Amino acid sequence: MRLYSQKMVLSALCVALGLIFPLLFHFFGGAGSIFLPMHIPVLLAGFLLGSRSGFLVGVLTPLLSAILTSMPPLLPVMPIMVCELGVYGFAGGYFYHRRKLSVLKSLLAALALGRAAAMAGAFILVSLLGLKLAPLFYVSGAIITGLPGIAIQLLLVPLLVDRLETMLKGRGKA
């Protein structure tokens, strides 16, 4: 029961950080689509808490952010981000915990699969709602715009996972 409670609290913390970080970036110039501040807490949730918690954090964070802050916009961005971030959180946890890949390999797999999920989400939106959106151009544009954020993720996430795992293991012994 203690582990379940700890996972719930840490999941809530990751969602909260996923809501706060984009607000800070938008407050200081609106560079969220460049630096991808919502992605890091979702990725950390997958790595630290596992695939289920990572998935839930990845789905809830953009959904709650859209409802509470109108960022991302409800259409077309929010459903695409729900697909992308849900897969980020799930895949990060899956490859790291279940497949026992390194943090970097798991991160690369999560990023690739998340972008593929974003593309699938964009295709579904176009086919269901008839939106004037070219999924390939949308996702490739998001990747190009987000290159600084991707670089930050590749540098910061492995470091944070290492440090936070060490810290969480130390707390578990107390």
HSE-up (13 A, CA, CB side) for residue 75: 9
Decide if domain 35-164 falls under CATH 1.10.3470: no
SS3 134: coil
- Summarised one tens digit per residue, pLDDT across range 73-122 is 999 999 999 999 999 999 999 999 999 999 999 999 999 999 999 999 99
User: What pLDDT does 174 receive?
Assistant: 41
- Summarised one tens digit per residue, pLDDT across range 23-52 is 998 887 778 889 999 999 999 999 999 999
**What value does the mean pLDDT take over residues 7-33?**
92
The conformation of residue 24, written as its DSSP 8-state character, comes to H
SS3 91: helix
Examine the pLDDT at 173 and tell me if it is beyond 60: no
- For residue 22, give Cα distances in angstroms to 12, 18, 31, 158: 16, 7, 9, 21
Contact predicate 59/79, CB 8 Å: no
